[in-house]
Structure 1
Amino acid sequence: VLRPSYAQMRQIGIDVNLSPVVDLDINPDSPDVGSVQRSYSSDPKLVAACVEALAEVAASVNLKLCLKHFPGTGGAKVNPHDHVMDLSDCLTDVQVNVFKDLISRVPMALFSHGIVNQWEKDTPVCLSTVAVNKMRAWAPDACILTDDLQMQGVQKLMSTGEACVKAVRAGADFILIGNNMKDEQQQAEEFARQLFSACAQDAFMRAHAEASIKRIRMLKSG
């Protein structure tokens, strides 16, 4: 089933699949993972075995995969599509290590809107320099994506434009935006202006953006 599915994706021009979900099934009632059966297992070894199989087939058809949702949202009690999601009391090293162990097999990781106060207080992981640096220590060339910045896990904290700037400043390579709130073209142009202005004024952020371009080019050429 997997091989023809991946092959068909390539045939219609899709070269990146934003999967697999590697969140552990910590809380069966978790509204965005356990209760909707998005997790392979609560056992990290079984999750790893599934990802190994996926990665092997994906590589055979030159399809890129993306681990999600860092650092592990299987214990969450709320859905980040609707609420601010705090993982501070439910995140464990076991969940984080799933990503650490698998990022060498998959070239991309999608960062969640979860807040881990032990890492960076009141800051969603997708906007956190500390979180990005953890991933960079394990896989310097991995491409990091934010989850959709128009989900309420971010929207209830700041505007989309502000989140875009924070994401790039933190070191994210790709910004995901659902474009489901306002006119798409108008919105995209405004975010681009905000990012251009921020990079022009902030050499540190500009360096992050330039490094991201290099990683993205490397990903596309691989």
Structure 2
Amino acid sequence: MSTKTRDSNLLSIMCAVFAVLWAGGFAFQPARMPSDHVTKALTDLERQVGQTIVIGFNGQSVHDASVRTISDQLHNGTIGGVILLGRNIQSPAQVHQLVGDLTNHVDPTPFISVDQEGGAVQRLQPRKGFPRWPSAAEFAENTGGCAGSNAQEQYATLARGLRALGINLNFGPVVDLNINLDNPIIGHLGRSYSDKSETVSRCGGMFISAHHAVNILTSLKHFPGHGSSKQDSHTVLPDITDVWQPEELVPFQQLAQTRHADMIMMAHLVHPDFSDAPGTPASMSRKATRQARAIAGQTTILITDDLEMDAISSRMTVEQAAIAAIAAGNDMIIASSYGRNDPNLGRRINQAIVRAVMSGRIPKDQIHRSYERIRAAKARLTNGSTPSSVTPSEPNA
């Protein structure tokens, strides 16, 4: 049996499993929170700041102390969402239970996010009972550049499976152009659909439409384009000055024009057109967020890539990075707490941003505008509406 046939059979089996889950749901109920679950009243500012924070954590159930701490922070508004990594995932049933426990009676609905691109980047892995999803490059090749209904159907299956688990935010699609085939983090891993912007936009649009159909938000990444870089921002801060091409913006522009830009993920990349100063990444530069905002409009959420990647963490603390990112005009930040157990990270980031607001480094009205964007996006998760056309009172300057 060929690898392709074997993968197809596995996918068919898992699709059937997910179809059952989608139709009837898991027969689980959220667990009762342990007695040490405490709710602390926050100020309005702390709650608004909390919505800007997505945190990674250790643990797989509410019986883990770190999960109880994260649950408390979601309930009282210290943080607005979590990102699931491999350390949180054991099986479909376990993930569904974990998500149910984390989201039970939380208002507004927290973001339960994951990186489920396919290929090298899929947190829900076959060895843990989930379907295998092809990489972007493989997907585009197998579907003739995402032509025809087969491509849409495959992404619909992916999205329904995520929704059955309770996941409501998938950090994809990658809309980087495959300019540098030796790029260690994009091209080398098959994470780009193509070197042609029209193919990337078409495939990315299918990915997003399938997720929208089941009320899952997505994020275009990585602005302003990681496909030409020679280095991996997980390990160093890449300077793309001599390799970046203007065409790398085209997928962001085209998908934003067709209302496919729920979020844009700002990359840790240096380029004079997107960096406020030499050595300052786009993720922390107002020059970059203004351009992303001009492309995407006022309802799109700008979110950083993980602030604990070495491109950033080797230069500053995560609290300093969060302040710099929000001050630069991002609406949200991600801090994965990768490689360590730090359940109080979200609380520290919240307080650091609050102090920056109180000192005047971050305008309070900017936090409120970001809060409005996030609340509007979360409302779409529960009412099933298409991307909102409501515009916050003023743009982030």
> Which bin holds the TM-score, normalised by the shorter protein?
over 0.9
- Deviation per residue, 1:100-142 (Å, 9 max, x gap): 2212322111111011123322211111111111111121110
Report the CA distance shift for 1:200/1:69 in structure 2 as closer, same or farther (over 3 A). same
Greater radius of gyration (CA):
2
CA apart distance, 1:185: 2.3
Partner of 1:72: 225
Quote the Cα distance in structure 1 between the aligned partners of 2:215 and 2:347. 32
Quote the Cα distance in structure 1 between the aligned partners of 2:261 and 2:307. 23
- Indicate conservation of the 8 Å contact 2:235/2:311, yes or no: yes
Partner of 1:113: 268
Give secondary structure in 2 for the equivalent of 1:147.
strand
- Indicate conservation of the 8 Å contact 2:264/2:303, yes or no: yes
CA apart distance, 1:203: 6.7
Stretch of structure 1 that moved more, 124-133 or 198-207: 198-207
CA apart distance, 1:181: 4.9
Residue type of the alignment partner of 2:314: K
Alignment of 1:110-149 (within 5 A): 110-119=265-274, 120-121=276-277, 122-138=279-295, 139-149=297-307
Quote the Cα distance in structure 2 between the aligned partners of 1:179 and 1:16. 19
Q: CA RMSD in A?
A: 1.5
- Indicate conservation of the 8 Å contact 1:150/1:160, yes or no: yes
2:179 paired with 1:26: yes
TM-score by length of 1: 0.94
Which one of the candidate residues 216, 220, 238 is aligned to 1:63? 216
Stretch of structure 1 that moved more, 38-47 or 188-197: 188-197
Quote the Cα distance in structure 2 between the aligned partners of 1:162 and 1:63. 31
- Indicate conservation of the 8 Å contact 2:303/2:334, yes or no: yes
- Which ranges of structure 1 fall in alignment gaps of 5 or more residues? none
Residue type of the alignment partner of 2:284: L
Partner of 2:252: 99
- Indicate conservation of the 8 Å contact 1:111/1:147, yes or no: yes
CA apart distance, 1:156: 2.4
2:347 paired with 1:176: no
Quote the Cα distance in structure 1 between the aligned partners of 2:315 and 2:223. 19
Which one of the candidate residues 369, 379, 382 is aligned to 1:211? 369
Partner of 1:51: 204
Stretch of structure 1 that moved more, 94-103 or 177-186: 177-186
Partner of 1:38: 191
Number of residues of Structure 1 aligned to a counterpart in Structure 2: 222
Quote the Cα distance in structure 1 between the aligned partners of 2:339 and 2:345. 9
- Which ranges of structure 2 fall in alignment gaps of 5 or more residues? 1-153, 381-397
Quote the Cα distance in structure 1 between the aligned partners of 2:231 and 2:362. 34
CA apart distance, 1:60: 1.6
- Indicate conservation of the 8 Å contact 2:174/2:204, yes or no: no
Which one of the candidate residues 60, 75, 81 is aligned to 2:234? 81
| Percent of pairs with identical residues | 27
Which one of the candidate residues 321, 325, 333 is aligned to 1:163? 321
- Deviation per residue, 1:33-57 (Å, 9 max, x gap): 0011100000001111112222222
Quote the Cα distance in structure 2 between the aligned partners of 1:181 and 1:117. 32
Residue type of the alignment partner of 1:191: I
Residue type of the alignment partner of 2:273: Q
Residue type of the alignment partner of 1:219: A
Stretch of structure 1 that moved more, 176-185 or 154-163: 176-185
- Over 3 Å off, 4+ runs: none
CA apart distance, 1:3: 1.3
